[in-house]
Amino acid sequence: MTASDPGQGQLGPPSALSKRNVRFFNVSLRNGIVMSTPSYPEKQSFVAHLIRALETSNPDFGWVQFLFVGSNYGADLIRLKNSMHRAKTAIEQPSLDLVSGEEQDRRQLYRDYYRRADSRMKKVDEIVTKPTITMAIQGMWVSDEPDSLYALPFDHCVDEHDSLAIFRYRDPRMLLELVDRRMVVDISEYFDRYTRSRLEPPSFIVTPEELQSYVHLPAGETAASLRSLEGGTSTRAFILARIAGQKATADSGDGSSSELVRLVKVPKNEKVLEDASVQPLSHLAAATVRTFELVYSGGRTEVLFSAETVEGMRKYAGLLGLVYGGLKLEKAERRPAFLSELPAIMG
């Protein structure tokens, strides 16, 4: 985002700005079921629906970051399963009534933890056979209607065990997390404490299949109707023809020269891409944190990508290019232009 973008500088005098509500938020597992890997039910549709919700809510400023990094929780998951099995076995043992001296069923036998223990241990078995990715979703919302944040469709991201929910904060220190693109990478302690005191983790795990549910460019009918995106012609067919018969490499895309870039124009794809076409997206996670970000301000939505190194960004852009064609990227500022208005809003 640049200072010359339409809609910048139209936010009114400080007296009006001071009435605006600033909220920071994190999106995480609603019930802290740590083996859950939620995703959006419609493939390659979530980002279009998320941008549509931004347009409909029309906040003064909305910033949504998806941060992700490759991880390996195999040992933690196995330890979690063993802990659940021990807890389940203990619940099955009758307790002794202190008055009558007779054995009786434990109350936990009829609670959710016990009833769902087998299916959740089965879920652990499924995850340990796949690569895992740690994902964090966080952001900032500035609006005179702060509850409009809940219009964002995160609660539709589910699996059979849990769903995502938005947790709001007013702590301005979260702004540093957003600007520095920081996330909680290690959530192993939340696995270890699952059978004792369950808390929603700041990040959650997904497999490459679920990652594609969150990190993709909008396509299809919903995307075609979005007003806030600057659309461009897709060169996907040309790129695919060029690499036909050749071995596609991860660094075959745009040669970016920055760790943080802005997508100048979002390529228009009239139809949602088929599974085989988006297969490169399963390789988006790396050993270091990458981000996919939406910045909404002045009625416009911008798409940002970041990696921890320039070379990492080139590989990231290359994978996206294999799916969507050539992407025109330019260097982006770490702080969106709207943030210069914060002292007046929060003062």
Tokens of 34: 């740590």
**DSSP codes joined into one string, 156-174:** G-B-SS-BEEEEEE--TTH
For the ranges 133-142, 155-164, 335-344, which has the lowest average pLDDT?
335-344
pLDDT of residue 230: 83
pLDDT in tens, 103-116: 676 777 878 888 99
User: Can you give the C-alpha Rg of the chain in angstroms?
Assistant: 23
Tokens of 53: 């919700």
pLDDT of residue 55: 97
pLDDT of residue 248: 40
Backbone angles phi, psi at 105, to 5 degrees: -65, 145
d(CA 19, CA 144): 7
Q: Of residues 170 and 99, which shows the higher confidence score?
A: 170
pLDDT of residue 177: 96
pLDDT of residue 131: 94
| Domain-wise residue ranges, the chain | 14-76+124-334, 77-93+101-123
Q: Of residues 200 and 165, which shows the higher confidence score?
A: 165
CA-CA-CA-CA torsion sign (298, 301, 307, 312): negative
Average confidence (pLDDT) over 174-181: 96
Average confidence (pLDDT) over 116-124: 96
**pTM of the predicted model as reported, rounded to 2 decimal places:** 0.85
The owner of tokens 């699996």 is 159
pLDDT of residue 3: 35
pLDDT in tens, 227-258: 999 875 555 544 443 433 344 444 334 445 79
Q: Using CB atoms within 10 Å of the CB of residue 73, give its burial: 0 to 12 exposed, 13 to 18 middle, 19+ buried.
A: buried
Q: At what angle do helices 74-92 and 117-127 cross, to 10 degrees?
A: 160
pLDDT in tens, 89-108: 988 888 766 666 676 767 77
pLDDT of residue 235: 53
pLDDT in tens, 251-280: 334 445 799 999 999 888 778 888 888 999
d(CA 313, CA 310): 5
Exposure string for 3-18, b = 16+ CB within 10 A, e = fewer: eeeebbeebeeeeebe
pLDDT of residue 334: 95
pLDDT of residue 347: 57
Asked if 329 and 263 count as a contact pair (C-beta separation under 8 A), the reply is yes
